[in-house]
Amino acid sequence: MRNTSHRHAPRTRSVRTRATAAGALSAVAALLAVAVQAGPASADDPAAKATPAAAQKLGKVDPGALAAKLSPAQRAELIRDANATKAETAEDLGLGAKEKLVVRDVTKDRDGTVHTRYERTYDGLPVLGGDLVVDTAKSGKTEGVTKAVKTQLKGVDTSADIKASAAEKQALGAARAEGSKKTDADRAPRKVVWMAKGAPTLAYETVVGGLQHDGTPNELHVITDAATGKKLFQWQGIENGTGNTQYSGQVTLGTAQSGSNYTLTDTGRGNHKTYNLNRGTSGTGTLFTGPDDVWGNGQASNLETAGADAHYGAALTWDYYKNVHGRSGIRGDGVGAYSRVHYGNNYVNAFWSDACFCMTYGDGSGNAKPLTSIDVAAHEMTHGVTAATGNMTYSGESGGLNEATSDIFAAAVEFNANNASDKGDYYVGEKIDINGDGSPLRYMDKPSKDGSSKDSWYSGIGNIDVHYSSGVANHFYYLLSEGSGKKEINGVQYDSPTSDGLPVTGIGRDKASLIWFKALTTKFTTTTNYAAARTGTLAVAGELYGTTSNEYKAVAHAWAAVNVGSRPGGEEPPGTSFENTTDVAIPDAGAAVTSSVNVTGRTGNAPSALKVGVDIVHTWRGDLKVDLLAPDGTVYPLKPASSSDSADNVKETYTVNASSEVANGTWKLRVQDVARQDTGYINSWKVTFP
């Protein structure tokens, strides 16, 4: 769960191709605003044979936009095809002579549309933040491209001014500053091109090993400018996340017979194995082996019990992704990861590691509550799915989305399992009782109930721990699934608020999960932020249900309810508004411009929830920095510039705590375009007092 101990536990940019040589790709911006016209599913496609119950849950979905169920062999063939044509693809994309594509993943829709995920190299060096997804129709026509960043990759001097040893020293210091123990470099610093945060820069990437402050293995990635020695970025690579189980009762496990003994080897699920670390913190441990194919007794004191729980959770998660989304294993290649239980002593955490392709679980406080419940197992395994698909960098807003994705599918897996001893809910870790008071680790209906997570987006949310910023997406998923207000589900009482006070009607968990999964696998990249996640999920809802559907509108409503984007149809919270509708041109990469609103007739100070409605027409809105200026000149940031936010226009309602300001006076909206090539204007804006 990546730092479960924390009360558990760069940005997407679509390419808008400008006029280039013949055969260049068309702009993807338009594709994000309309539904893809999908043909019927092939009669021999096993994915087309959806059950009546499944079809009812998904409603009037366009069957062609659903993911096809690819066998590992079919996926491997698609990857071979992509590798055979990657040079041609690079040329069509207009990449430079020094750029090359590396195929990472391929998915396919039932209508034949193929989504190919690439990484890039420049002059032989890995490009961090250079990932992209190309969507190709069955006809072979390129329909769209999503890039992690829009910055052009050229003119990079690949000769470093500082030595690799200096970068390593800096990285080790950064790890020690965070409390790392037994700190060492896992591998020598490697040269990379860093472009996840803007202009491409030659840098070193150092991966620091050892242990984190709480005993979790360390995999800290530190990016150091190869010209100046300045630290540019860092993120953590460890992602913290018949059996008689402790949490799920008596269950059936996939095992294998070896001679006269049995092992926890699930031959039906990619040979997933479960090992006993026996309080160790390194290595694989010992494969659980026994003479009778009965595992554990339901008590933590029996070491097999945690093994049974972890093995069962991995099986449920495998089945969910395969049966619901057509994905065979974490990477889609039919290969199982493995699980390790009994990590450390009194270790209150669980984590996923790409390095070992495995999930690891501690035994909790007093070694009495292993972190092996269904939702925790699904959470950790989903970190692996995310790493193989969208791979959102585990820092800032992208890190919050990464963490939330694991929570979202933890809930989906738990509901799908329909286990009588651990019924589905919108809580995380309710069985493992980390806090010792019977409370769950996180609440999806109202994330702030844990004391640290956030219910809605604000401009600085990327600066907090990813386990807390994840609350925005968790809350979005709950609202999209179930809607706002009071309700009871599986005996659990929920009461979900909205940031603007307006209600949300849910579309059902199955539809919400389908939309999130398709966005994860076809729209999200290493740098996806909340604005880009909204764009991606709306695009997917349009592809699946159409842009005039209730599902599409519900996605927009649910995002607006967590303060990401505006309500469809112009719905606004009640109150008194002061508005300026005069157009103000925004110069391209020029000075900031302002538009004024004169507030009169109010008494006292402005509210703690002042609503600022912004309507700006501008291509590539990530170029824009938007602030609210109070009458006394105090600046309230509304929207930062972001090289990864590729959508057009800013039509948002922001919430500002302006309670220290006198209400009456001249309020100003200040907008600055900080990058070249795109222009627009302030169409209108208003402040609304409750």
Asked which of 58-72, 270-284, 374-388, 517-531 is least confident by mean pLDDT, the reply is: 58-72
**Average pLDDT in the 658-682 region?**
93
Q: Is pLDDT of 48 > 70?
A: no
| Strand 125-136 versus strand 185-194 pairing type | parallel
pLDDT category of residue 226 using cuts at 50, 70 and 90 = very high
Q: Which of 219, 380, 403, 414 is catalytic?
A: 380
Give the number of residues written for the chain. 690
430 is catalytic: no
Residue found under tokens 């619901």: 324
Query: What's the pLDDT score for residue 240?
Result: 56
Query: What's the pLDDT score for residue 18?
Result: 23
| Strand 492-496 versus strand 485-489 pairing type | antiparallel
Query: What's the pLDDT score for residue 576?
Result: 83
**Bridge-partner residues for 651, per DSSP?**
615
Q: Is pLDDT of 425 > 80?
A: yes
pLDDT category of residue 55 using cuts at 50, 70 and 90 = low
Query: What's the pLDDT score for residue 577?
Result: 86
Residue 212 corresponds to which tokens in the numbers above? 């984190």
Rounded to whole angstroms, what are the CA distances from 183 to 173, 175, 186, 208, 236?
Answer: 9, 7, 9, 7, 14
pLDDT category of residue 21 using cuts at 50, 70 and 90 = very low
**pLDDT tens string 113-144:** 999 999 999 999 999 999 999 999 999 999 99
Query: What's the pLDDT score for residue 325?
Result: 96
Q: Which of 467, 475, 557, 618 is catalytic?
A: 467
Eight-class DSSP state of 297: -
Query: What's the pLDDT score for residue 570?
Result: 67
* Through-space distance between the first and last CA atoms of the chain, rounded to whole angstroms: 40
Q: Which of 39, 30, 31, 44 is nearest to 65 (CA)?
A: 39
Asked which of 20-29, 400-409, 572-581, 645-654 is least confident by mean pLDDT, the reply is: 20-29
**Average pLDDT in the 442-458 region?**
95
**Average pLDDT in the 242-260 region?**
92
> What domains are there in the chain, each with its CATH number?
17-43+64-147 (3.10.450.490), 164-236 (3.10.450), 244-320+336-388 (3.10.170.10), 397-567 (1.10.390.10), 576-689 (2.60.120.260)
Cα-Cα-Cα-Cα dihedral sign, residues 22, 27, 30, 34: positive
Q: Which of 5, 1, 2, 11 is nearest to 532 (CA)?
A: 11
- What is d(CA 578, CA 593) in angstroms, rounded to the nearest whole number? 19
Eight-class DSSP state of 164: H
Query: What's the pLDDT score for residue 46?
Result: 34
Write the DSSP assignment of 507-560 as a string of letters. --HHHHHHHHHHHHHHT--TT--HHHHHHHHHHHHHHHH-TTSHHHHHHHHHHH
Q: Is pLDDT of 109 > 50?
A: yes
In the chain, % of residues over pLDDT 90: 73
pLDDT category of residue 573 using cuts at 50, 70 and 90 = low
Comparison of pLDDT for 650 and 54, the residue scoring more: 650
**pLDDT tens string 604-615:** 899 888 999 999
pLDDT category of residue 30 using cuts at 50, 70 and 90 = very low
Mean pLDDT over all residues of the chain? 88
Residue 453 corresponds to which tokens in the numbers above? 């997570």
Cα-Cα-Cα-Cα dihedral sign, residues 594, 597, 598, 599: negative
Query: What's the pLDDT score for residue 16?
Result: 23
Q: Is pLDDT of 535 > 70?
A: yes
**Average pLDDT in the 186-194 region?**
89
The string over 259-288, giving b where at least 16 C-beta atoms fall within 10 Å of a residue's C-beta and e elsewhere, is eeebbbbbeebbebbbbbbebebeeebebb
Residue 560 corresponds to which tokens in the numbers above? 């607006």
**Average pLDDT in the 13-22 region?**
24
pLDDT category of residue 24 using cuts at 50, 70 and 90 = very low
In the chain, % of residues over pLDDT 70: 91
Query: What's the pLDDT score for residue 41?
Result: 32
pLDDT category of residue 646 using cuts at 50, 70 and 90 = confident
Angle, vertex CA 548, rays to CA 479 and CA 639, nearest 5: 55
Helix (H) or strand (E) holding 56: helix 52-58
8 is catalytic: no
**Average pLDDT in the 346-365 region?**
95
Residue 367 corresponds to which tokens in the numbers above? 């070694």
**Average pLDDT in the 569-577 region?**
72
Query: What's the pLDDT score for residue 543?
Result: 96
- What is d(CA 473, CA 476) in angstroms, rounded to the nearest whole number? 5
Close Cβ partners of 85 (under 8 Å, ≥ 6 residues apart): none
Query: What's the pLDDT score for residue 171?
Result: 84
Q: Is pLDDT of 398 > 90?
A: yes
